[in-house]
Amino acid sequence: MTRSITVGAAQLGPIAKDEGRPSVVARLIDLLRKGAEAGCDLVVFPELGLTTFFPRWYTDDIAGHDHYYERSMPGPETQPLFDEAKRLGVGFALGYAELVDAADSPDGETHRFNTTILVERDGSIVGHFRKVHIPGHEDDEPWRPFQHLERRYFEESDAGFPVWRAFDGIMGMATCNDRRWPETYREMGLQGVEMVLIGYNTPIHYAPDPGQNALQGFHNHLCMQAGAYQNGTWVIGVAKGGTEEGVESLAQSCIIAPSGQIVAQAVSTGDELISAVADLDWCAHYKDTLFNFDRYRRPEVYQRITNQKGVIEPPENTGSDQTLAGDDNS
């Protein structure tokens, strides 16, 4: 018997700055119901799926933007989503801005994270993931047409990429920029992950190098398809797309099989539910053959994959001849 789950990618269109939580939660519930109609066990929503992408605005005092953060999950405004999930028997993953109050924090400090939760079909929270790779900048950079101040609004998580047993499989999460890093998938791949859930907000315009603008769609699929194939896992990539507060963001949400093939893709830039039947046993075709880590990986020779940051300078005189064992160029 195969372990198949039906998974939905619930792409969102823009969320306006003044759109309140009740309206956004109603949109999420509508997509959840569409997922139920499609037979979904699990519906995946995007990064920061409850608010506009507020890190595009500079502020001296980020505490003035705390209304964009959730202090509890579920909270009074998100409880209806949990209730509907339980009623329908459909789980979900949802990205949101998380605020940990100083009073609730082990170190007595306030913390802000870019977080995603995974919720089971009975409405219980399976796990929290906090974004590891925080892109953009900390300070106002007025030369940009719009800001990408995630590094001002969110801390980097040091918790890495855990996996959870849920939905009859091994589930992992990552958030937006995390999807561009091979370590993200490999960390979870080494723990046997079978499905990685990824929400994203990706502006088409990349101010530091606009030459990349035309490649946004290509890079989006390239990194997720490679991560899926090289780790024998399903990857579900879900956008908040369309033009939000004047900023155009990539859509192209997709469901990727362990072969690296896209098996479903959104066709709009707005609220849209796509789905696919995901056979988790398909992962073994890759995990037990080409990417049998125990048999073929060579961690003992991957000397530069360590805890260092930045680039390690190569030693002097490392011509290609000298890299061959036994060569003697003296």
Listed in sequence order, the residues at least 6 apart from 61 whose beta carbon sits closer than 8 Å to its beta carbon are: none
CB of 238 to ligand CDT, least distance (A): 12
Per the CB < 8 A criterion, the answer to whether 115 and 95 are in contact is: yes
Q: Residue 5 to residues 41, 170, 192, 195: CA-CA distances in angstroms?
A: 6, 12, 17, 10
CB of 258 to ligand CDT, least distance (A): 23
Q: Residue 221 to residues 36, 37, 176, 180: CA-CA distances in angstroms?
A: 26, 27, 12, 10
**Beta strands 254-256; 247-249: pairing state:** unpaired
Q: Does 176 bind ligand CDT (CB under 6 A)?
A: yes
Q: Does 52 bind ligand CDT (CB under 6 A)?
A: no
The single residue listed with the structure tokens 């993200």 is 184
**CB under 6 A: which stretch of 86-94, 116-124, 173-181, 281-289 binds ligand CDT?**
173-181
Q: What is the DSSP letter of 205?
A: -
The single residue listed with the structure tokens 């609004």 is 153
Catalytic residue among 40, 176, 223, 283: 176
For the question of residue 176 being annotated catalytic, the response is yes
Looking at beta carbons only, is 57 or 206 nearer to ligand CDT? 206
Q: Does 202 bind ligand CDT (CB under 6 A)?
A: yes
Q: Does 192 bind ligand CDT (CB under 6 A)?
A: no
For the question of residue 47 being annotated catalytic, the response is yes
Applying CB under 6 A, the site for ligand CDT has a residue count of 11
- Greatest alpha-carbon pair distance for the chain in Å reads 75
Catalytic residue among 131, 194, 283, 287: 131
CB of 96 to ligand CDT, least distance (A): 13
**CB under 6 A: which stretch of 93-101, 195-203, 260-268, 302-310 binds ligand CDT?**
195-203
Looking at beta carbons only, is 82 or 161 nearer to ligand CDT? 161
For the question of residue 86 being annotated catalytic, the response is no
Q: Could you tell me the two tokens for 185?
A: 């998938």
Listed in sequence order, the residues at least 6 apart from 318 whose beta carbon sits closer than 8 Å to its beta carbon are: none
Q: Does 112 bind ligand CDT (CB under 6 A)?
A: no
Helix, coil or strand: residue 182: helix
Residue in 174, 82, 90 with CA at minimum distance from that of residue 125: 82
Q: Does 182 bind ligand CDT (CB under 6 A)?
A: no
From the list 127, 136, 172, 237, which residue makes contact with ligand CDT (rule: CB under 6 A)? 136
Question: Alpha-carbon distance 190 to 300, whole Å?
Answer: 15
CB of 330 to ligand CDT, least distance (A): 48
Q: Which residues are catalytic?
A: 47, 131, 176
**Residues of the shown chain interacting with ligand CDT in the complex, contacts defined by CB under 6 A:** 47, 135-136, 148, 176-177, 180, 200-202, 206
